[in-house]
């Protein structure tokens, strides 16, 4: 192995590690956000994006294995293997969408059964359509910057 090949291998392994740890950070942030939803505080900001943050990084895990394989072996994956990886990625995306739909409907029903009220407007710091603020008392809707 020459120096150029070693540099390339180190770069690829560093790329794999970066993608792996970044994806892991997203998964842990999403898990913590979902954990906070189940604390049933007086003010809850619910976003369907929390579920996506947990599941979609797994697509990056799958894609990063190609980088790792190339870094270690020096050759590309076969077309059959790539087709299988893309199938896995499609399954993860489909599962993520189903998880969002199922979790959202169940969680919103649970919020209503626990007498939470949906505030009108957009929660502070959120883009339109991404989150809804739920409160125990209507007076809490004006707290923490909600319109």
Residues in the chain: 147
What's the chain's average pLDDT?
Answer: 90
Q: Give residues with Cβ within 8 angstroms of 5, minimum separation 6.
A: 74
Assess whether pLDDT exceeds 80 at residue 143: no
Q: Rounded to whole angstroms, how far apart are CA atoms 69 and 77? A: 7
**Contact, 111 vs 46, CB < 8 A?**
yes
pLDDT of residue 146: 47
Q: Where are the beta strands (DSSP E) in the chain?
A: 43-47, 117-118, 131-135
Assess whether pLDDT exceeds 60 at residue 102: yes
Closest by CA to 123, choosing from 61, 68, 45, is 45
Give 73-99 pLDDT, tens digit per residue: 878 888 898 899 999 999 999 999 999
pLDDT of residue 147: 46
What is the 3-state composition of the chain as percent helix, strand, coil, each rounded to the nearest 5?
70, 10, 20
How many structural domains does the chain have? 1
CA-derived radius of gyration, the chain:
21
Identify the domain containing residue 127 by its residue range. Answer: 3-145
Q: Give residues with Cβ within 8 angstroms of 77, minimum separation 6.
A: 66, 69, 70, 85
Closest by CA to 66, choosing from 13, 23, 10, 3, is 13
Q: Rounded to whole angstroms, how far apart are CA atoms 19 and 134? A: 34
């Amino acid at each position: 192995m020459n120096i150029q090949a070693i540099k390339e291998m180190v770069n690829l392994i560093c790329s794999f590690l970066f993608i792996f740890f970044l994806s892991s950070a997203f998964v842990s942030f999403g898990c913590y956000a979902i954990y906070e939803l189940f604390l049933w505080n007086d003010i809850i900001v619910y976003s369907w994006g929390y579920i996506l943050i947990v599941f979609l990084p797994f697509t990056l895990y799958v894609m990063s294995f190609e980088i790792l394989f190339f870094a270690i072996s020096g050759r590309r994956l076969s077309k059959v293997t790539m087709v299988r990886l893309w199938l896995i990625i499609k399954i993860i995306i489909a599962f993520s969408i189903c998880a969002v739909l199922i979790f959202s409907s169940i969680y919103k029903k649970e919020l209503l059964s626990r007498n939470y009220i949906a505030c009108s407007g957009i929660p502070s710091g959120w883009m339109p359509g991404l989150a809804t603020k739920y409160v125990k008392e209507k007076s809490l809707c004006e707290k923490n910057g909600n319109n």
